[in-house]
Every structure is written in structure tokens, then in C-alpha cells.
Structure 1
């Protein structure tokens, strides 16, 4: 419903009715629209994590190409879910501390393959490099959000920076 009509246009009573439950149950449990949106985003993140964990990384390529392969999968997934990603970004500030902590934990799981590539390549310091890779992903994803860029365009935008971040 959030995706069809927008977050602000959907009411809690309508959500309850659509889910086939009593609005009183939602209110008694203390759920808010922000909670429901957070749970949607958290479930989406779990789906993305499962996809990353199942993704075989080519062993016979450079660390740069391996990182770009992971990031290309991130871009493809997030672009396919762009509406929900936009809503999460717009209303994430309303989430509970617990939901925010769960999201932060998921982010660590998502970037673990990048961390492992950096470690396998013997590059130090590891954490600043991984944080840099995460940051440039976020910056390039803005091209998808605001300019409708596809995954390949986003990858080409960050390729030179990935090369710099992975220099020995």
C-alpha cells in the first residue's frame, strides 16, 4: 500500500483492514506506520543478504573486479526495489532504536563480502577501505535514485575510486 499510494496516504485502520486484523490489535501492540515500514525494509535487507551469501565470487579475477561484482549485485537489487528504498530513506528517521540497530547489523552483514575481499587481498587498513567502498556505493546509488541510472552506469561511475581504495 505504501508503494501504491505513498506512505502519507495510507492509514493504520486501512493497513489493519487489508491485513485482515483488527485495528485495535495493531494499536494494542503499539505498532506505528514507521514500524511497519521498517519491518518491510528489514525483510528486504534480509532478502538481499541471502542473495549476497549465495553469490559465488569469481576467484580468478582481481580484487577490484570482485568488489565491483558485489557492488553490481547491490545496485541491481536496490534499483529493482527503488520505491521501497526511497521510502526507507525518507522515513527511516522515524524508526525505533531497535529497528535502527537491526538495520545497522544488516549493513555489516551486507558489506562482509567486501571486507573479505580486502582481507584476502592482504590490504591494510581493512576497515577504512571497506567504509570507503560502502560510502562510494551510497554516493553512486544517488545516481539511480535521482537520475534513473542503471547498475552498469553506477559501476562505471565508481570504478576509478574502487581502484584507488584497493591500491596496495
Structure 2
């Protein structure tokens, strides 16, 4: 687990922080962000709440760290765009988004918490998560460039906004990945018109 550039001095502190983040991940996933406190996380880790804060994190930071980890797991599994295997940008993007939906539905409880409470993160975490978003969007941008679309950045942001509209279907209606994609296909086609 790579932590988000925490300037902890000792290896022991790094290990303790990793353990605290792992416990926070488990508790947030099983019970939700609002129902879990630093005191409970610390107790599960066998340390005091003050020791958690001495690691340089609070509850908001712990959720951001969890989101960074799950994002990195998604990024690690991304296949780059290969221009020889797709007949259109739309076909590639639909396939790509379906894959991302499948991954995100597996971690729906954490994604839901991140979406609900991400506004509480510090600017540092926001920058790190935006950097990860750019990595997630890169295959889409590469496909758009290959098929000679204009306004690639704007289209990527629009596609990602649509992605979350579809993902809401999974969160609110327990929809599967196919249903999430079907929900946004008409808008996605409009977004990719020339």
C-alpha cells in the first residue's frame, strides 16, 4: 500500500498508518462513514485516538486515503487504449465504462461514502484524487485523440459526469454494470457527436 506522501519519520509510524487506513476502510465499507469515529478506528487498531491524530490524519483524511487506495487499484487494472482493436471511439468508451462500472460496483459502499463526503477533503487530497481521475480518463482521451475528436478535455469531463449519472443507478437502484451503461448510452452518443 502506497500512502499519499505522508511525511512520517519512522517505518513503524508508516506501518501503523497503513494499519489504521486498512481498519478505516473496513469500517467505512461495512457501517458507513458517518457511523464510524476516530475513537472506534483507534480502538480497532489498538492505539489511542491521539495516536491516530499524531499520524497526521483525521477522519476526513482517512476516507480520502481509502479512496486513493481503491482508485489506485482501479488504475492498476486499466488497459491502455489500443488503436487496432476498436472500430469507433464510442465502442471503446462503452466497453471501457462497462469495465469501470463493474469495478466500482464491487466497492459500491466505499464509492458511495467518497461521493457523499468528498467535499470535506483538504486541497491536498483533492489534488491527488484529481490526478488519479486524469489517469482513469487517459484511455478515453487517447481513444478520442485517435479518432480525431476535438475538445478532448471537455468531452472527457462530460463523459465522466455521465459515468456518475449511470453509477447513481447502481447506488440508488442496485443496478448492475450493464444497466448503468444503458442508462447513459443516449447521452454518451450525443456527447460523441461531431
Report the TM-score when normalising by structure 2. Answer: 0.78
Cα deviation, 1:124-147, whole Å, max 9, x if unaligned, reads: 122222222111111111111111
Structure 2 unaligned blocks of 5 or more: 1-26
> In structure 2, do the counterparts of structure 1 residues 4 and 55 end up closer, same or farther at CA, with 3 Å as the change threshold?
farther
1:117 to 127, 132, 143: 143
RMSD between aligned residues = 2.0
Give the corresponding residue for 2:102: 76
Deviation at 1:14, TM superposition (A): 2.3
Question: How many residues are aligned here?
Answer: 168
- Pick the structure with more helix per residue: 1
Q: In the aligned structure 1, how far is the partner of 2:155 from the partner of 2:81?
A: 22
1:1-168 superposed matches below 5 A:
1-53=27-79, 59-168=85-194
Structure 1 unaligned blocks of 5 or more: none
Question: Aligned to 2:148, what secondary structure does the other structure show?
Answer: coil
Where has structure 1 moved over 4 Å in runs of 4 or more? 54-58
Give the corresponding residue for 2:17: none
Report the TM-score when normalising by structure 1. Answer: 0.89
Cα deviation, 1:34-58, whole Å, max 9, x if unaligned, reads: 1111100110001111111468787
Q: In the aligned structure 2, how far is the partner of 1:15 from the partner of 1:57?
A: 46
Question: Aligned to 1:37, what secondary structure does the other structure show?
Answer: helix
